[in-house]
């Protein structure tokens, strides 16, 4: 009787372990898969990376590019872009990583744009092998912008004074508490001009255009995807789904291509909200950020 009981308990324990193991495997597969997880991957796949919204940080996009660049089952990366651009340095970091993966890892990189691929977003697209847009996609806004608020008159009205002790005349350049001087403007304009020149050079190299051809369209203007194709800024006019098929064809994938895409985190905790909303106050930052160079479509 005791032996039968022990056998029954053993069967129950084994079943529980098997059930737990199955749940664990399914959970891990769901967490780390897009349309297929790397740990279960077979055959050639296309990795899709979303580049949405303003480019304020490069960390997440660069991480994904690195991971898919190291994944032997991924033969091509498709950037799905819908962005007005963002920070100059942020755009450059993403651009550099795309270039590295193409050269060092031999990965094909294609950019497919949705509604907007402007300024910094177009900058990073110039590192890819092909740029694809819809006919009505907004393309361009090639240029640099720097903006910051000036609230000195408002502060005077409410009776607040700010004392600034500095080591040089332009140390507090971009301060919202005073008007810009001619020296401030000259220095900032020089930084903008240099960043603009870097943008021009990237487009010349990535799009195989002459300096004159780039300068002609690099005044901040935006174009439709169809216009952009005529100007040499775009390679193909196609939808995102068609871009997947084009990428598969370029990568030499036969049949229907398999894709993988990182799933965004869905759960937002109270800590996340607190960290997002109050981080600026906790680390002592001013309510008005200093001037930032941006490849951004306003």
Q: What residues are annotated to the active site?
A: 119, 171
Rounded to whole angstroms, what are the CA distances from 94 to 70, 106, 265?
16, 17, 21
Displacement of CA 26 from its chain's centroid (Å): 30
Q: Is the separation of the CB atoms in 32 and 257 below 8 Å?
A: no
Enter the DSSP assignment of 47. E
- The residue behind tokens 């398999």 is 258
Q: Is the separation of the CB atoms in 236 and 125 below 8 Å?
A: no
Question: DSSP letters of 136-171?
Answer: T-EEE--S-B------HHHHHHTT-------SSTTT
What lies within 8 Å, CB to CB, of 189 at 6+ separation is none
Rounded to 10°, the helix 182-207/88-104 angle is 20
Question: DSSP letters of 170-214?
Answer: TTTTT-TTSPPPHHHHHHHHHHHHHHHHHHHHHHHHHHT--HHHH
What lies within 8 Å, CB to CB, of 45 at 6+ separation is 36, 73, 74, 75, 257, 258, 259, 260
Q: Is the separation of the CB atoms in 252 and 45 below 8 Å?
A: no
Q: Taking CA 210 as the corner, what is the angle to CA 101 and CA 220, rounded to the nearest 5 degrees?
A: 85
Q: Please tell me whether residue 103 adopts helix, strand or coil conformation.
A: helix
Q: Taking CA 71 as the corner, what is the angle to CA 33 and CA 250, rounded to the nearest 5 degrees?
A: 95
């Amino acid at each position: 009787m005791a032996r039968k009981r022990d056998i029954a308990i053993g069967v129950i324990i084994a079943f529980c372990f098997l059930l737990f193991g199955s749940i664990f495997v399914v959970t891990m597969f769901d967490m780390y898969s897009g349309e297929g997880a790397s740990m279960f991957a077979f055959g050639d796949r296309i990795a899709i990376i979303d580049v949405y919204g303003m480019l304020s940080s490069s960390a997440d996009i660069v991480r994904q590019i690195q991971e898919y660049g190291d994944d032997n089952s991924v033969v091509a990366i498709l950037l799905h872009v819908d962005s007005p651009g963002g920070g100059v340095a942020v755009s450059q970091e993403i651009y550099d990583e795309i270039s590295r993966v193409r050269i060092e890892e031999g990965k094909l990189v294609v950019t497919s744009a949705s509604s907007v691929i402007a300024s910094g977003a177009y900058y990073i697209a110039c590192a890819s092998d092909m740029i694809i847009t819809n006919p009505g996609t907004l393309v361009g806004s090639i240029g640099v912008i720097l903006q910051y608020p000036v609230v000195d008159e408002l502060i005077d009205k409410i009776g607040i004074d700010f004392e600034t002790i500095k080591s040089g005349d332009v140390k507090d350049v971009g301060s919202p508490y005073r008007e810009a001087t001619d020296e401030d403007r000259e220095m900032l304009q020089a930084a903008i001009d240099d960043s603009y020149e870097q943008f021009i050079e990237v487009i010349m190299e990535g799009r195989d255009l002459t300096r004159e051809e780039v300068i002609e369209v690099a005044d901040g203007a935006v174009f439709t995807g169809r216009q952009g194709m005529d100007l040499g800024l775009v390679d193909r006019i196609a939808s995102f789904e068609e871009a997947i098929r084009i990428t598969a064809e370029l990568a030499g994938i036969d049949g229907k291509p398999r894709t993988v895409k990182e799933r965004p985190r869905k759960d937002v905790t109270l800590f996340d909200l607190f960290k997002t909303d109050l981080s600026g106050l906790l680390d002592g930052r001013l309510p008005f950020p200093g001037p930032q160079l941006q490849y951004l479509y306003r």
